[in-house]
Structure formats: structure tokens, C-alpha cells
Amino acid sequence: MQTLDILVPETSGYSYAFLDEFAKRELRRRMLKAIAIPGYQVPYASRELPIARGWGTGGLQVTLSLVGPSDVVKVIDQGADDSVNAANLRRFIVRMSGAQTTTDTTLATLIQSRHRIPEEVLHEQQTLILQVPDPEPLRAIESNISKAREMHGDADYGLMWLTLYEQLVRYKRVTLGASYPVTVHGRYVMSPSPIPRWDVPKLHQAPFLTVLSAGREKRLYAVPPYTDVRPLEFDDVPFRVENQRNWLCFRTGEHNKFMNEIPLAGGNAIYEISDSGYVNKRILKQPVGNTFFDDNAKFYKEGVLHD
Amino acid sequence: MTKNVALLNGVNTHPFQSLDLHHRHLLPAQIVTTKPLLQATGLVKKYGVIHAVSNVDVLVYPGEVLGIVGESGSGKSTVLRLLHLEDQPDAGKFYFDVSNDQSLNLFELDRAAKRLVRVFNIGMVYQHPHLGLRMKNTSSGNVAERLIVAGNRNYAELRLAARKSLQVSEFPLARMDDLPSRLSGGMQQRVQLAKAIALKPKLLLLDEPTTGLDVSVQALVLDTLKRLQRESGVSMVIVSHDLGVIKMLADRVMVMRNGRVVECGLTDQVLEDPQDAYTQQLVHAKL
């Protein structure tokens, strides 16, 4: 019987971590530029990988150019370590680099993620790599990419507030769920990849480095450690995270963590914490790190949220 | 200039301050000593081999309404686009009383500076609402956009300002949160007008503002424009091929043909006693 192991060619023919040295050097240089100009989208030559564009190739290229044999890698997809995409990426990274893997946020050195920032507070030695489908926050208001880049150059971001205005007029509240635009270091407006609003404040003055990379759009950008990341808001209509105040995780009994809603027959719903690594540690009664939102729904840093 | 003199009174106050039904007192005639608000000289614009505008001078005094008439393709809309800093001319200078620095040629500013001049000092009403309005945004949003671009980040203030501006342009407030695509042509023009005057600009550019509206709506929009001009004293440049519109609004008129100015003078004078052969033809064709 033919198995995948037989079909897959020997790994010895590849460079360390799959990408050739030139490609990795280019990516590292682009990352340095992105870190030097927080929130600025740096174009790069997105390489072919054995997974399809749109399945995390941007994040994967960044991970592959950063990973070393002593690294511990965690890969998350929508908060879960065990989804197909996360498992595939993790196996590929390990196979190509010999790095360790973990599902424990506190132990990882590199965390590649799609759609979530883990609940536990990351520290200075960790790097968060976010997969980005659409890096351009201005796309909704300016479809011409050349014009959008001019707007970035002029810091001409007024129209972003017009979209907020429109939502307030029509729905009485801001309806942007994910990819909530933020101003980084008081200059560039950035799309923080499709993380929920819940995760946006976690980027503000964070001790860890965040690299966001879009493989299909061939752009990467970064939030260096201890950088201001402010969500766009009106003076009198402050930014708010999702209201999940009364939601209780059916597996751990906790609240004030970002929840997945699981609909039940009959119209009711139960909730579970979206960060599966965190849930598993709680169920196994292992010690967990500090979380960004504590039990009183207070954010770990004062003055970021308005109430 | 005699007609202009009376209009100059009271324009030193900020436009729209006197909006609350305080009509200006008429003062005795006086000699014009005010500097022009806008001074564009030697404008040249070519599109390939076509000379859209050749050597046109435009002068507008504070509180004055300048009409530009001419047949299609005579270059009048191009002049307006140049004045709105949308296009870069092939030659010419443009001085505008923006920052007490009269020696600043606006055509030499960079893109961001031009945008600021445009946002804070110039309002524009296009013939086609599609050019001036965002059809996917609400009417009030379209008006609020000007204040947002100018840096206002207070939702309540934006709502209030949009409401006020729409009120001034006599837009039915019950429909202020409707999409422009669901409004009538006259209402769309009123939204454009409200947007143009939202930041109380010194200059209002109107490109065929009533063309395409039926006659009764046209009259109402013109009434609004005239009242606005009377109450706020904002300077206007109005482009039209309709001499009736020009006659009703403009103090001075400029007749263009083939990218050149063939005649320029007080409206009454030019329309009653045209000197140039083309103007005579135009006037007789109309009246």
C-alpha cells in the first residue's frame, strides 16, 4: 500500500526550512524594514510553497525564515491547535526545520496564528506571526491600490472614520467584527488580520513582536514590541470589544475569554473558549499564565478600554 | 465693478455667520480696494493636440459671482477643474487668498497640500452627482465626510454639522440618512451643495449645477444658491451653458470659445450689449 511517506520525496534535497537561503534573507530584510516602520506594508516576493496561496503561505514563509532547531512552534487556526490547516502547517514546519512543537502558549517561541491571539499574555521572547488574507485596510474605501498607497503616504485616513459613521447611522453601533482597523505608532492605519475585536487591544504596547504577512497579496507588516496600537474610534463613541459578558464556557465554566458559539437544536446555544490550548490546560488542571482579560473583564493594561 | 461694490460689504465676516436672518445693511458705494480672492493667470491645458484652455485669466473678488458661459467643448469645465486643483495645467499661475500668503502659486504645491487647500477653502458642485457624492454612503455621511477629512472625530458634532449644512441647502432633513441614489436629482444637487459648504469655504465652484433638472426644480435650486450667496457672501464661479442661470446669479460673466475668453464683463452689460460676434450669436440664440 502506498502511504504518504513513500510518495513524499526525501527532505534532504531541500534547504533548511524549505526556503532557499536567498529567499529567507529577503524575508528577514523585509521584516527588519517592517519593524522599522511600524504598520507599513512592505512588499516581498512571495515564494511557492507546497500549500496553496490563501492557506497561510504568508505566515508560513515568515515562520520558516525565523525558525531554528531550538525553537518551539505553536500553530493555531481560529484558536484551535488541532484543526486541519494548523496540523498541516505544524507538521510541515517540524519536518523542514526540526523544531519542537507545543500547544502551550507559554512555552512557544514562535506562534503562527490565523484569526486569533492566544488568551494567555505573551512575553518578550515570543514572536507572534499572523496570517493575513487582505493586508490593505483602505480597500473598502479605495479599490485602486495606487491611490490607496498615496493615501497611506499622505496619512489621509479620514474616510475610515466615514465608514464608522455610516455604521453608526445605520445600525447605531460599529458592526466591524474582525479586521478592525488600528493606527500603529500614531502613523499608519493597519488591518490587524481578521482577529476579532476582542484581540485588538492585546496588540497595544505588547511586549512581543507581531509580524503580519499576506502570501497571496505579497505584503508583510509588523508591530514591534511596546508600540502604540489604537483602534479607530470617535471621541464620543469609544471602541468596544464583543459583548460576551454572560457567556460561560461549558467545558471549563470560565467567562471573559473569547468564546465560540455552538448552536443547539431548539435554538439555544452553548459556548466554549475559542483558545483550545488554554482549555486543555484548564481541563488537565495545569497551571495557566496570566490572561489578557481577567475574571472581572478588566484588560491587563489600564486605560486601553474605556470601561 | 459698480455692481460688485455693494456685494463687497460685510464679506470680512466669516461666511454663514450672518445666516440667522440678519441681512446685511446696504452701505453707500465705495471704491474697490479689496484684493482679489482668486487670481489665476495664463492658464494653459492641452490634451494631446487639443488645446482645451489657452491663456485664460480668471479673477474673482471676495463675495463675487463669476459666470463662465460657452458652448460644449469650449474649455469652461477644464478651467473649473484647474481651479479645483484636480488637474495640473501645462502653464499658468494660481494665487488664492488662503493663508495670507498671496505669493503662493497653488499649482506648485504638493499633493497633500493641495488636498488641504481644497478641503478647507474650496467647495465644488458637479453636474453629475456621481462625481461629487459617494453613492454607497448616506447623504448625511457625504456631508460629514468633509468635516471628517478636516479632522473632526466627534460623532455627535458630525451629525449636528451635517444636519445644519443640509438645512442651509434646504434639503428635507427627514431623508438625511437616505442613500443619494434613492433621492431625486434636485435633492442630490442639494446634498452636493451641503457637502460643498459644510466647511464654510471661501470659494464655491459650480459646474452646471442645474443642468439635467426640470425647470421648476432648477428654479428652486437656483433660489437656494442665490440666498446662500446673499447671506454668506461666499465667492462663486459658476459654469453653465444656460444664459438664464448666469443672468440670475452672476455679477460678472466670461464668455469662452475654443479654449479662449472672447468677452468678459458685467453680466448685464455683456448680455444686453454683447460686443463679440460669438457672444451676440449666443445671446440671440437664447433670448
Cell of B94: 494660481
Closest by CA to B198, choosing from B230, B237, B169, is B169
Angle subtended at Cα B191 by Cα B189 and Cα B196, rounded to the nearest 5 degrees:
95
Task: Note whether ipTM > 0.85 here.
Answer: no
A237 in reach of chain B (CB within 8 A): yes
**Beta carbons of A113 and A196 less than 8 angstroms apart:** no
Inter-chain residue contact A169 with B138, CB threshold 8 Å: yes
CA angle A173, A174, A176 (to 5 degrees): 145
Per-residue pLDDT at B1 exceeds 80: no
Q: Is the pLDDT of residue A297 over 70?
A: no
CATH class for the region spanning A4-135+182-231: alpha beta
Q: pLDDT at residue B20 above 70?
A: no
Kindly identify which residue of chain A lies nearest to residue B158, measuring between CA atoms: A165
> What is the reported pLDDT for B241?
84
Nearest in space to A32 (alpha carbons), one of A67, A62, A69, A68 = A62
The mean pLDDT value of chain A amounts to 90
Distances in whole angstroms, Cα of residue A47 to Cα of each of A59, A75, A215, A217: 12, 20, 8, 12
> Per-residue pLDDT averaged across A8-12, rounded?
64
Q: Which residues of A, range 61-90, sit inside 8 Å of B by Cβ?
A: none
The pLDDT value given to residue A290: 87
A168/chain B closest Cα distance in angstroms: 9
Q: For A156, which of B115, B144, B158 is closest by C-beta distance?
A: B115
Which is higher by pLDDT, B26 or B246? B246
Q: Cα separation of B66 and B50, whole Å?
A: 26
Mean pLDDT of A26-41: 97
Chain A contact present for B153, CB below 8 A: yes
Closest CA to B213 of B98, B129, B138: B129
State the cell numbers at B48: 494631446
Give the gap in angstroms from C-alpha A248 to the nearest C-alpha of chain B: 34
Query: A3-12, A36-45, A199-208: which range is least confident on average?
Result: A3-12
pLDDT in the model for residue B11: 42
- Inter-chain touch A236–B155, beta carbons under 8 Å: yes
The average pLDDT across A94-115 equals 94
Q: What's the pLDDT tens digit per position in B123-152? A: 999 989 999 999 999 999 999 999 999 999
pLDDT digits (tens, 9 = 90+) for A146-179: 999 999 999 999 999 999 999 999 999 888 888 9
Interface touch B153/A161, C-beta < 8 Å: yes
Q: What per-residue confidence (pLDDT) applies to B56? A: 92
pLDDT digits (tens, 9 = 90+) for B184-196: 988 999 999 999 9
d(CA A106, CA A280): 13
Residue matched to cell numbers 534547504: A15
| B109 interfacial to chain A (CB closer than 8 Å) | no
- How far is Cα B209 from Cα B125, in angstroms, rounded to an integer? 6
Confidence of residue B102 (pLDDT cuts 50, 70, 90): low
Q: Which residues of B41-74 are buried (b: 16+ CB within 10 A; e: fewer)?
A: eebbbeeeeebbbbebebebbbbbbbbbbbeeeb
Most confident of A187-191, A244-248, A296-300: A187-191
Measured between alpha carbons, how far is B91 from B87 in angstroms, rounded to an integer? 12
Break chain A into its structural domains and give their ranges.
Answer: 4-135+182-231, 145-177, 241-306
Compute the average pLDDT of residues A108-129.
Answer: 95
Output the pLDDT for position B104. Answer: 81
Q: pLDDT per residue over B39-56, tens digit each?
A: 899 999 999 988 899 999
Determine contact: A242 vs chain B, CB below 8 A.
Answer: no
Residue A5's pLDDT is 75
Lowest mean pLDDT, pick from A10-19, A269-278, B57-66, B255-264: A10-19
Amino acid B82: pLDDT: 93
Substitution target in A169, A232, A234 with the highest count of B β-carbons within 10 Å is A169
User: If we measure between CA atoms, which residue out of A304, A177, A297, A294 comes closest to residue A246?
Assistant: A297
Average pLDDT over residues A228-252: 89
Cβ distance A235 to B154 less than 8 Å, yes or no, reads yes
Residue B3 has pLDDT above 60, yes or no: no
Q: How many Cα atoms are found within 13 Å in the side-chain-facing hemisphere of A97?
A: 26
Per DSSP (E only), the strands in A88-134 are 100-101, 110-114, 127-131
pLDDT level of residue A107 (50, 70, 90 thresholds): very high
Residue B26: its pLDDT value, please? Answer: 61
pLDDT more than 70, % of chain A = 94
* Neighboring chain B residues of A156 at a CB cutoff of 8 Å: 112, 115, 149
As a whole number of angstroms, the distance between CA A305 and CA A303 comes to: 6
Residues B218-241: tens digit of each pLDDT? 888 899 999 999 888 899 999 988
- CB < 8 Å to A236, chain B: 154-156
Average pLDDT value for residue range B200-212 = 90
User: Does residue A113 carry a pLDDT above 80?
Assistant: yes
| Confidence (pLDDT) at B5 | 41
Beta bridge partners, A213, equal: A131, A220
Distances, alpha carbon A45 to alpha carbons A37, A57, A128, A130, in Å = 19, 12, 21, 18
